[in-house]
Structure 1
């Protein structure tokens, strides 16, 4: 009986053709894996176990039936009633999975009238312990143990003493119930492990979705930081050409060259980002990401576009700065120069970088007020928000706002481990 198929499979199976429904509380106890309360189809192993239980009850009943003639004080009519009840009890075992409580109660009440139903009663108590909580087992089997001495007082065994018969019957009942409780606890453990596995799988899927979402957000920030710098150059120089149609040819040629170069770089950066989106897991982008060592190139590029930038880089060896910290500092400087070019064209921009291992890296960008009117340049308004997110993710902080004496100031601090 310990090899019975659990009545609460982890995966819902097909149902009986009649599709009968149980009360929700009973269905949850019998079949905790089924939210619809439908009974799963009995498997071949279940049929084999039920047949073995039936056969065992019949064998015990036949053995008990052989002792009935020895009970001289038992009327012939009671002998027949005893055998009929025993046969019905053995047949009723096929319902033990469906109605374990009812079957156990009926056999408890009929037990004093039939010794041939003893084997069926033991299997019914075992099924009760497997399929129902302990409170049912305690009440029904406790009543059975109390009734055992009364049964042998009314129908004493002619070959065995009263005490030995009572003790042997109680031990058999306790063994059947204990076995059933063990099987129930084993099944609950399996269901718990399966539930944990399902929860772990669900949590893993949620973590994967979260990681995917964070990756998309990171790519979106990268796209903004990379393309905003290039497209701002295009917008500024295209606006200069629009509002100064009579500019000297060399200035027009230089602006057109900047527009062409910026367009080329913007397309290249866009291809890289699309390549990252299309790349498989673990693949790297084609070009290395910029670090603090590329800050001089960024400043030179902005100067070539007409910006007035003063760079004070006090980090003697930018290559010693961690790649993640240097990349964040580069993006902050890139966004700051882009904002200065959009909102303060022609203004002088001061860029200062200093720091050392163990003390952190400090980056300051400060631009003076614009010398003239500021043309309307569209913007997303997300640049400073993105910079704050970048600095926070890197473990640093950033401050921005109006500078003393006019203009705008951005100060960022990033950790630089020793």
Structure 2
């Protein structure tokens, strides 16, 4: 992490920062007082002692600027080490600050400068010169290295904490995005379900209504049967619409939806429902075990058959329809809806025109393929192959 990002993160002092700054200032004053007491026991001239104490006090006050200008404060205090013994505490704290907030390439030269100025201190202040001068310089060098190491440890730990915090925030943000995306995908899927289900139900209503309109003299028994189909289809359409609207709310309820999705085993009932509505539909399952088909594949196959029957009612009214379902485990499932090519499109039931596009997307999502169009013998065929894994 660069110096700019570290400094910007601490540009405004928090309560912890204020506590640390007061602690550093107090510690520096205590060290300066202790060294002043040691100076009094030595043959130090009065003016020299006063100047030493004054420089030490100024050094302690300079620590309040170390957060904003760590390098400048450290370099400004370094020459004072040639004369003042009471600035030892602020020197150590300023070097630690440079190491924590700056780069190692800057902290090492600052440490070398501060240590080198200490070599001149016994020359300027001979009353502090000891017999083991070089031993003291070696101890001072080791102490400087220890301050650098401590500063690097604190700096690395802070960077790790900031990195973990950023990573946690990114993970939380990505989780929210994944949840939002999952909701959008679920709502898109339900919108497709609404298109398939409601179009099928409404087409049944339209067929029965047209039959009643075009045949005013039909027997009452047939009228009653058509009324039952219309009522059941309307009730079912309302239930489906209520379920879809409930899931599409802004804040969906927690937990899985209560609505059970149709599978391939429900295709015979779908065909029987179309027959009750007056369609000529024949189902040829070819001995295929409809119950054994996986739920995801079976649901897609059901929607393909449903959309195919709906299209027949919309564009080829009265045509005979053959629904063929064949397949086996490991081979795949083939679903086909075939009817004679309509002489003219009725256009009586409006549609969005995206039914086949949605079916193609459904088949692709489960790893299958879908094709539709006119055959060589003049029929319209909607055919899909879907995987049936072992």
| CA positional deviation for 1:308 | 2.0
**Which residues of 2 match residues 211-360 of structure 1 at below 5 A?**
211-242=182-213, 244=214, 246-249=216-219, 254-274=225-245, 276=247, 280-285=253-258, 288-360=260-332
Matches of 1:51 and 1:254, distance apart in 2? 91
Q: Does 1:148 align with 2:118?
A: yes
| CA positional deviation for 1:367 | 1.3
Q: Is the 8 A contact 2:3 2:103 kept in 1?
A: no
2:9 counterpart (24, 28, 32):
32
Q: Deviations over 1:57-110 (max 9, x none)?
A: 2333344335547876x7654443222211211232233333322221110122
| CA positional deviation for 1:373 | 6.0
Give ranges in structure 2 of 5+ residues lacking alignment. none
Matches of 2:273 and 2:104, distance apart in 1? 80
Indicate the residue corresponding to 2:88 in structure 1: 118
Indicate the residue corresponding to 2:78 in structure 1: 108
Matches of 1:48 and 1:260, distance apart in 2? 77
Q: Is the 8 A contact 2:196 2:303 kept in 1?
A: yes
1:81 counterpart (51, 71, 78):
51
Matches of 2:109 and 2:76, distance apart in 1? 14
Structure 1 218/184 Cα, relative in aligned 2: closer, same or farther at 3 Å? same
Please, which moves more after superposition, 172-181 or 379-388? 172-181
Matches of 1:66 and 1:266, distance apart in 2? 95
Could you say what the CA RMSD is over the residues aligned between the two structures, in angstroms?
2.7
Q: Does 1:198 align with 2:169?
A: yes
| CA positional deviation for 1:416 | 1.3
Structure 1 88/372 Cα, relative in aligned 2: closer, same or farther at 3 Å? closer
| CA positional deviation for 1:342 | 0.6
Q: Is the 8 A contact 2:81 2:118 kept in 1?
A: no
Matches of 1:67 and 1:264, distance apart in 2? 98
Q: Does 1:128 align with 2:105?
A: no
Q: Is the 8 A contact 1:346 1:370 kept in 2?
A: no
Indicate the residue corresponding to 1:391 in structure 2: 363
Matches of 1:260 and 1:372, distance apart in 2? 29
SS of match in other structure, 2:346: coil
SS of match in other structure, 1:362: strand
Matches of 1:275 and 1:79, distance apart in 2? 84
Structure 1 149/413 Cα, relative in aligned 2: closer, same or farther at 3 Å? same
Please, which moves more after superposition, 232-241 or 45-54? 45-54
Q: Is the 8 A contact 1:366 1:403 kept in 2?
A: no
| CA positional deviation for 1:220 | 0.9
Structure 1 96/373 Cα, relative in aligned 2: closer, same or farther at 3 Å? closer
Matches of 2:21 and 2:343, distance apart in 1? 95
Indicate the residue corresponding to 1:5 in structure 2: none
Q: Does 1:165 align with 2:136?
A: yes
Matches of 1:76 and 1:373, distance apart in 2? 115
Q: Does 1:92 align with 2:72?
A: no
Matches of 2:199 and 2:382, distance apart in 1? 17
Indicate the residue corresponding to 1:411 in structure 2: 383
Matches of 1:149 and 1:40, distance apart in 2? 36
| CA positional deviation for 1:118 | 1.4
Please, which moves more after superposition, 203-212 or 298-307? 298-307
Matches of 1:293 and 1:158, distance apart in 2? 100
Q: TM-score, normalised by structure 1?
A: 0.83
Normalized per residue, which structure has more helix?
A: 2
| CA positional deviation for 1:230 | 0.8
Q: Is the 8 A contact 1:276 1:285 kept in 2?
A: no
Give ranges in structure 1 of 5+ residues lacking alignment. 1-24
